[in-house]
Amino acid sequence: QSALTQPASVSGSPGQSITISCTGTSSDVGGYNYVSWYQQHPGKAPKLMIYDVSNRPSGVSNRFSGSKSGNTASLTISGLQAEDEADYYCSSYTSSVVFGGGTKLTVL
């Protein structure tokens, strides 16, 4: 159950788009279309933003989108806003659940 690999940090200016990658193996990200993304603001519980690679739960802005190619999944946030500044975690099914190490998004 090794953690998925995410960049430690990414940054962007308001209005720009950023992409966070999440690299796993054929046993997790590459083997199933069960990738999800969570947003966590400091001191708060995580929030589900994307499930099944690219689906958004009700109420999540369409500025958030997900995709996958091989063993790497990606989260793209378009039209960056100050409130998007948070930690983002990817997750994959792998007969259990494995999270990525997390990426801190800074909105400049």
Partner 1 sequence: QVQLVESGGGVVQPGGSLRLSCAASGFTFSSYGMHWVRQAPGKGLEWVAFIRYDGSNKYYADSVKGRFTISRDNSKNTLYLQMNSLRAEDTAVYYCAKDFLEWLLYPRYMDVWGKGTTVTVSS
> What is residue 33's DSSP assignment?
S
102: left (phi over 0), alpha (psi -120 to 50) or beta: left
Rg of the chain over CA atoms, in angstroms?
13
Which residues between 61 and 90 bind partner 1 (CB under 8 A)? 87, 89
Candidate list 25, 33, 40, 67; residue touching partner 1; CB under 8 A: 40
CB of 98 vs partner 1, minimal distance in Å: 7
Residues that bind partner 1 (CB under 8 A): 1, 3, 34, 36, 38, 40, 45-48, 51, 57, 87, 89, 91, 93, 95-102
